[in-house]
Amino acid sequence: MIQEWMMLEALAEFSIMPSSQSTGALLCSLTVQPTLINRIIYAQNKDDRLQAKAVKAANDESDVDWTCGVNGDLKRKILDEAHHSRYTVHPGDTKMYHDLKRQFWWEGMKRDVAEFVSRCLTCQRVKAEHQRPAGLLQPLPVPEWK
């Protein structure tokens, strides 16, 4: 019963309203598609500079420079998904960069990831800074026994 409740809560996040009324057999199908990946593919297909570079690469021209601009909204969405996802739990900038570079790349990506994490208020409140203490340790006074 608890597993069913947890599944219903997970489906509620996606605005899917399951019906509990059953009068007979019901066969359902749920298809999940990665909309972010589809948005990236669509943006790449509409990028004229990237298409021109793909034509150069197809013609075996070795001096193709693949660096090109990435849509700012897509960058922000990728960073947001990678940082605020239920499964990543606010990773630091190094872990987030290494996780993202397996699937994505754009010029200045490491800098963008570090900047994004530094602006996260939750990370600023929770994550401990790994720095040396500011000064030398001071001895405590020895208590006197009476």
Q: Tell me the domains of the chain and their CATH numbers.
A: 34-126 (1.10.340)
Residues 6+ apart with CB under 8 A from 40: 74, 78
pLDDT at 95: 92
DSSP 54-93: HHHHHTT-TT--------HHHHHHHHHHHHH-TTT-S--H
**Share in percent of the chain as helix, strand, coil (round to 5):** 50, 0, 50
pLDDT (tens place) for every residue of the chain, 146 residues total: 566 667 777 777 776 665 666 666 666 777 776 788 888 888 888 888 888 888 888 887 666 555 555 678 889 989 998 898 877 788 888 999 999 999 888 888 999 999 999 999 888 887 766 667 677 888 889 988 87
